[in-house]
């Protein structure tokens, strides 16, 4: 800076040095790869990190819990509708079943529905979207029109209709969730593939002689993976919520099987007489939904380089 010009006479070294283009092109700031940048931003987002930890915990409970706890269907009519106690930490329900055990079982069922349904949607969406974008032309037109139609039918109506016909179970719920659930992802993937086919940077890469695989690897996959990840994180709570909604209406998982939806249904039925029956599943359910949404938000912000200003 200007201050440093005051150097004593005769101390100036006027010997020539060569040009140093390399060092002028060196970026002095912390250089981050895309993934590193994403991770760094995500880690700074404490809400997202807490959410991630909570989801990990809840998943662990869903896996390990049912192995440790006793039978979730065991009835004990003598101790029906009892509040929290040493024997039943979260109380008992109308037929004297232990709420904690049922909650843990319900966690396993509800999370499974959420993850499995969205994984199926993910696969269908990627395949259909990929085909649509890659083939282009008439096939693309056709697929897009089909998607337009599927999207314009109110989703809840289709699910209710299907569940009126089929008996509510994990399997039928998965079918109901996957009939229409893949459209969002298919559109997203198609959009990415199409933009890749048309975009200048991909064309530039092709002109420069990059192989198809290289373009796929360096452009398509990195461009897709972020939005897909965000979409997935946001869709899982959607599926879990849909299960709760349907079970609440008496169309989802029916007792004696446990799910967050039918636990909540019983909770609202017994409200406000047996508060624990409502609040225990409601809190776990709401926190999980919150965690997924906050994590999804965090991911989306982290993946958007513009947010890193």
Q: How far is the CB of 213 from another protein (least distance, A)?
A: 31
Of 87 and 157, CB closest to another protein: 157
Cβ contact 260:243 at 8 Å: yes
| DSSP H/E element including 247 | helix 221-248
Q: Note whether 232 binds another protein by CB under 8 A.
A: no
d(CA 257, CA 270): 18
Asked if residue 273 binds another protein (CB under 8 A), the reply is no
User: Applying CB under 8 A, which of residues 14, 33, 198, 209 lies at the interface with another protein?
Assistant: 14
| Closest C-alpha among 198, 188, 195, 196 to residue 227 | 188
294 binds another protein (CB under 8 A): yes
Is the peptide bond prior to 103 cis by the omega test (within 30 degrees of 0)? no
Instruction: List the one residue from 8, 18, 86, 213 that touches another protein (CB under 8 A).
Output: 18
22 vs 209, beta carbon nearer another protein: 22
Q: Which is nearer to another protein, 125 or 241 (CB)?
A: 241
- Which of these, 61, 141, 47, 147, lies nearest to 105 by C-alpha position? 61
Q: Of 10 and 86, which has the nearer Cβ to another protein?
A: 10
- The gap from C-alpha 308 to its chain's centroid, in whole angstroms, comes to 22
250 binds another protein (CB under 8 A): yes
DSSP 219: I
Query: Cα-Cα-Cα-Cα dihedral of 141, 143, 149, 155, to 10°?
Result: -150
The answer to whether 289 and 241 have CB atoms below 8 angstroms apart is yes
Q: Nearest Cα to 160, choosing from 143, 181, 177?
A: 177
Which CB atom, from 122 or from 244, has the smaller least distance to another protein?
Answer: 244
Number of residues that bind another protein (CB under 8 A): 66
If one asks whether residue 43 binds another protein (CB under 8 A), the answer comes out as: no
* Helix 221-248, helix 260-269: angle, nearest 10: 30
| 212 forms part of the interface with another protein (CB under 8 A) | no
Between 14 and 213, CB nearer to another protein: 14
Does the footprint of another protein cover residue 162 (CB under 8 A)?
Answer: yes
Determine if 21 is a binding residue for another protein (CB under 8 A). Answer: yes
188 and 227 Cβ atoms separated by less than 8 Å: yes
Contact at 8 Å (CB) between 221 and 234? Answer: no
Residue 220 is given by DSSP the state I
Q: Contact between 244 and another protein (CB under 8 A)?
A: yes
Which string of x and - marks every residue 114-153 that binds another protein (by CB under 8 A)?
-------------------------------x--xx--xx
Among 135, 160, 210, 229, binds another protein (CB under 8 A): 160
What whole-number distance in Å separates Cα of residue 123 and Cα of residue 181? Answer: 11
| Contact set with another protein (CB under 8 A) | 1-5, 7, 9-10, 12-21, 23-30, 47, 145, 148-149, 152-154, 156-158, 160-162, 164-165, 237, 241, 244-245, 248-251, 264, 267-268, 271-272, 278, 282, 285-286, 289-290, 292-294, 297, 308-309
């Amino acid at each position: 800076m200007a201050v440093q010009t005051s150097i004593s006479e005769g101390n100036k070294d006027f010997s020539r040095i060569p040009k140093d283009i390399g060092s002028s092109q060196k970026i002095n700031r912390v250089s981050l790869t895309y993934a590193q940048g994403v991770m760094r931003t995500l880690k700074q987002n404490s809400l997202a990190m807490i959410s991630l930890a909570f989801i990990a915990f809840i998943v662990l409970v869903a896996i390990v819990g049912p192995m440790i706890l006793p039978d979730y269907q065991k009835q004990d009519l003598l101790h029906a509708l009892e509040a929290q106690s040493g024997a039943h930490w979260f109380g008992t329900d109308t037929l004297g079943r232990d709420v904690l055990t049922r909650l843990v079982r319900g966690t396993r069922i509800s999370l499974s529905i959420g993850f499995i349904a969205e994984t199926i949607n993910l696969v269908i969406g990627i395949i259909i979207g990929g085909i649509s974008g890659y083939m282009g032309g008439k096939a693309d037109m056709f697929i897009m029109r089909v998607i337009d139609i599927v999207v314009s039918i109110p989703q809840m109506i289709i699910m209710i209709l299907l569940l009126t016909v089929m008996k509510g179970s994990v399997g039928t719920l998965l079918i109901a969730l996957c009939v229409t659930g893949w459209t969002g992802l298919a559109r997203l993937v198609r959009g990415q593939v199409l933009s890749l086919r048309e975009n200048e940077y991909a064309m530039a890469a092709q002109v420069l002689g990059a192989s198809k695989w290289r373009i796929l690897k360096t452009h398509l996959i990195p461009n897709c993976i972020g939005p897909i990840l965000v979409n997935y994180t946001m869709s899982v709570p959607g599926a879990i919520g849909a299960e709760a909604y349907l079970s609440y209406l008496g169309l989802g998982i029916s007792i004696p099987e446990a799910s967050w939806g039918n636990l909540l249904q019983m909770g609202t039925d017994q409200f406000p007489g047996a508060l624990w029956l409502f609040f225990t599943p409601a809190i776990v359910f709401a926190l999980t939904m919150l965690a997924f949404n906050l994590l999804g938000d965090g991911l989306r912000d982290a993946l958007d380089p513009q947010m890193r200003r």
